[in-house]
């Protein structure tokens, strides 16, 4: 990939940075102002040669999401490179409805491999376009938060926003 655009916007959960390719597909996103941290979420072979600051189409969807339109992020195009199982998993994450999180075991079952809970967790951990591919909607059994690359406070806030009920601590 030759070039990409980086944009940081303010959200109630802090600064949110989006890296989009020339076709406006989100490659990486997360709650940070650190461009190196954003780029570090991509495999070296998938990093753009040139990154410029500018405007991304996805920023408007993030602002709409935070203004209460939880479906605004659903149709934002993303581009992720991974194994066939990872790509299937990332597509499945996009089908999890706001306010209806799954456990890692339920997510593994959704992928057709009920015993592959660790693989399901790994799919979430390797998800680069956070929010647009809502890995935050997968929890530990019993409702504990589990992990999240951008911090448990952000995960808790997103789940609370989507459900109207405070998320469990974990």
Among all residues, which ones are annotated catalytic?
135
The torsion angles phi and psi of 31, rounded to 5 degrees, stand at: -90, 80
The C-alpha atoms of residue 25 and residue 56 are separated, in whole angstroms, by 9
- Give CA angle at 88 (147, 145), nearest 5°: 15
C-alpha to C-alpha distances, 70 to 23, 37, 136, 164, nearest whole angstrom: 23, 26, 14, 12
The C-alpha atoms of residue 158 and residue 155 are separated, in whole angstroms, by 5
Give me 165's structure tokens: 């009920």
């Amino acid at each position: 990939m030759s070039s990409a655009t980086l944009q940081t916007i303010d959200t109630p959960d802090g600064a949110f940075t989006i890296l989009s390719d020339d076709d406006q597909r989100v490659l990486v996103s997360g709650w940070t102002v650190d461009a190196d941290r954003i780029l570090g979420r991509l495999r070296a072979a998938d990093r753009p040669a040139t990154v410029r600051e500018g405007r991304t189409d996805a920023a408007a969807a993030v602002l709409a999401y935070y203004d209460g339109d939880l479906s605004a992020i659903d149709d934002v195009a993303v581009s992720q490179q991974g194994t066939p199982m990872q790509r299937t998993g990332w597509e499945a994450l996009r089908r999890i409805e706001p306010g209806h999180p799954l456990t890692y075991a339920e997510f593994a079952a959704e992928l057709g491999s009920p015993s592959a809970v660790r693989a399901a967790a790994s799919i979430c951990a390797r998800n680069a376009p956070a929010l647009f591919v809502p890995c935050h909607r997968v929890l530990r059994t019993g409702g504990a938060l589990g992990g999240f690359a951008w911090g448990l406070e952000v995960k808790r806030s997103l789940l609370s926003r989507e459900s109207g009920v405070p998320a469990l601590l974990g």
